[in-house]
Amino acid sequence: MKILFVIESLSLPGGGAERILTLIANALAGRGHDVTILSFDRDGAADFYRVDAGVRRIREGSRGKSGPGPWTKARRPARLRAIAQSLRPEVAVGFMYSAFIPLSAALVGTGIPVVGSERTSFAHYRSRPFLQLLLHASLPLLARLTVNGEAIRKGFPRWIASKMTVVPNPVAAQEEHADPIGPGTKTLLSVGGLRPEKDHTTLVTAFADIAGRFPDWRLRIIGEGPLRSRLETLVASLGLSDRVELPGASEHVDRAYRAAQLFVLPSLYEAFPNCLAEALAHGLPSIAFADCPGANDLITDGLNGRLAAANDRRAGLSAALEQLMASPSHRRLLGEAAPQTVRHYAIGEITDRWEQLFLSVVESNAIGPV
């Protein structure tokens, strides 16, 4: 099958959706499909995650280093249409709304079905009315819209949810697991972009509340984003510069999982938090908020982690952290159970689901409207 994936960028460091697209595209190419990834990265930009040689890469960004200007962005639908018509894929997939909204408009009348891949929950749209309007406008132009969890799908308005197909993210099984007890200095790990919805501010302040009682613990937040300077200032103001690390994004995050003793995801909302699934696959006991969509699908309280009370986020997270940081035996039990709770997200099974979806879309497109 001939498949075209479109995404805003593959050069940005540490993106979860970008990592998932790369995994799926590589897996499909490995099965013999003709796979192309088109992004709007500038010419010569290196992909942050490895794209296999069997996947064709097209970069349609600006030639300078300053990023695309308004005129370049305005030309994107025309370029998308021209490239798709030259490639003639059997299906085109837009990863995230920044790709599937323009792609759906660009391919009207071409006969090429478009699948949108939604990577966030409806909570993201509530405070963005114009973006919500664009989502509504694109929906009739999409053959299907994927979402990575049933609870996330149900959180969308019914008429949008009815067009959605649940395809979870793949999670690789791990032969080498973390040691939740750990000798010497212990690491509380968090992974995610330094953006408002990830709520690392609450994590840092919650850690500060109990840090004095746990002098052998440090907090490590792997990720990059616009809130870096604000978080650095907060850490310094709390006197935690020697206890809180902000090393930036990493393409070798597996090493960080294996070196940690406890994982925490303080997000306000998620769709399918791959970092949390990967932490569980590495045998890390994990903490998230009980009201966080996506995270509360992956964590079963008391089985593989803890769900913190969200009515007072700082106090609830402090209490959950303190309980597990104080109990090596509890961390060990939760960590032992964790890998089994994500085993059904194996890359082979998830690739099967993408193939089945594409076959269904292509067959429906061949039949045409009834």
What per-residue confidence (pLDDT) applies to 242?
97
307-318: b (≥16 Cβ within 10 Å) or e: bbeeeebbebbb
Structure token pair of residue 222: 């792997």
Name residue 220's beta-bridge partners: 189, 245
Q: Where in the chain is the domain with CATH 3.40.50.2000?
A: 2-170+346-367, 186-345
Least confident of 54-58, 156-160, 192-196, 291-295: 291-295
* 107: number of Cβ within 10 Å: 23
Of residues 217, 213, 222, the one with CA closest to residue 180 = 217
pLDDT, tens digit (0-9, with 9 covering 90-100), for 205-222:
999 999 999 999 999 999
Average pLDDT in the chain: 93
Q: Tell me the per-residue pLDDT of 90-108, one tens digit each, with 9 for 90 and over.
A: 999 999 999 999 999 999 9
Reduced to 3 states, what is the DSSP secondary structure of residue 120?
A: coil
Q: What are phi and psi of 344, to 5 degrees?
A: -80, 5
Give the CATH fold of the 186-345 domain: Rossmann fold (3.40.50)
At 3-24, the pLDDT tens digits run 999 999 999 887 888 989 999 9
pLDDT tens profile 222-254? 999 999 999 999 999 999 999 999 999 987 899
Q: Which residues pair with 219 in a beta bridge?
A: 188, 244
Quick one: pLDDT at residue 44? 83
pLDDT at 65: 46
Query: Residue 38's beta-bridge partner residues?
Result: 6, 58
Domain 2-170+346-367: which CATH number of 2.160.20.60, 3.40.50.2000, 3.40.50.20, 1.10.3720.10: 3.40.50.2000
What tokens appear for 191 in the block? 């992974």
DSSP characters over 262-314:
EEEE--S--SS-HHHHHHHHTT--EEEETT-TTHHHH--BTTTEEEE--TTHH
| Coil, helix or strand at residue 57 | strand
pLDDT digits (tens, 9 = 90+) for 297-344: 999 999 999 999 999 999 999 999 999 999 999 999 999 999 999 999
pLDDT at 72: 58
**Residues in CB range of 255: below 8 A, 6 or more apart:** none
Q: What is the mean pLDDT of residues 190-210?
A: 97
Residue 68 has pLDDT above 60, yes or no: no
What was the pLDDT predicted at 251? 79
Beta-strand runs (E) in 168-237: 186-191, 217-222
Beta strand spans in 183-242 (E): 186-191, 217-222
Q: Give the neighbor-by-neighbor strand order of the sheet with 114-117.
A: 56-59, 34-39, 2-7, 91-95, 114-117, 144-147, 164-166
- pLDDT above 70 as % of the chain: 96
**Residue-wise burial string across 235-269, b where 16 or more C-beta atoms lie within 10 A, e elsewhere:** beebebeebbebeebbeebeebbeebbbbbbbbbb
Which pLDDT belongs to residue 64? 43
Residue in the block written with tokens 């963005």: 128
pLDDT of 33 strictly over 50: yes
State yes or no: pLDDT of 50 exceeds 50: yes
Give the tokens for residue 127.
């405070």
Q: Which two tokens stand for residue 86?
A: 């030259």
Structure tokens at 161: 């949810």
Q: How far apart are CA 346 and CA 336, in angstroms?
A: 18
Distance between CA atoms of residues 271 and 265, nearest Å: 13
Structure tokens at 324: 């597990």
Quick: pLDDT tens for 71-83.
Answer: 456 678 899 999 9
In 3-state terms, the chain is what percent helix, strand and coil (to 5)? 45, 15, 40
Average pLDDT over residues 354-370: 85
What is the structure's pLDDT at 73? Answer: 67
What is the per-residue pLDDT for 62? 55
How many degrees, rounded to 5, is the angle at CA 300 between CA 294 and CA 303?
A: 150
Q: Inform me whether the pLDDT recorded for 26 exceeds 80.
A: yes
CA 291 – CA 95 distance, rounded (Å): 26
* Per-residue pLDDT at 29 exceeds 80: yes
